[in-house]
Structure 1
């Protein structure tokens, strides 16, 4: 649910994400939480958060995929979602 809410990807592709973020062992130990509706990155420590966002920047170069201000500082465009409506903002 957290990693593929629309059920579009096979398990082997989904497992590539935590492996690239150096989180596969931790995620494997918490399998029952994968189907929860909690925010996926709400309770991780700052070192793990840094690894996660560095991986996102590397793997999604040219895409904006973040939702916290520190993770979008090097982005050139941001999508803002408010009350079910979205708009794009160009960063300078």
Structure 2
């Protein structure tokens, strides 16, 4: 029971500290789907460098070094649901 409370407490702390926007969560969902920066950029009408910059901001907010690590954190703390039924982005 204490473990569950601690996990919930850590998740709440991460969410309150990170302040991920819905656009940032959407980028993490695109990462989960395996899309490259070029593919995401084309969809959004932006330059790939702009997408990379946005991922750098996400990593800074989540205190990670890579976008894959940021994705794992986002899944672990409930920003993204990656169950077998298919990835779903949850509200930030």
Q: Indicate the TM-score class for this superposition, using the shorter chain for normalisation.
A: under 0.3
Say which structure is richer in helix.
Answer: 2
Q: Which has the higher contact order (CA 8 A, sep 6+)?
A: 2
Q: Bigger radius of gyration, 1 or 2? A: 1
TM-score normalised by the chain length of structure 1? 0.27
Say which structure is richer in strand.
Answer: 1
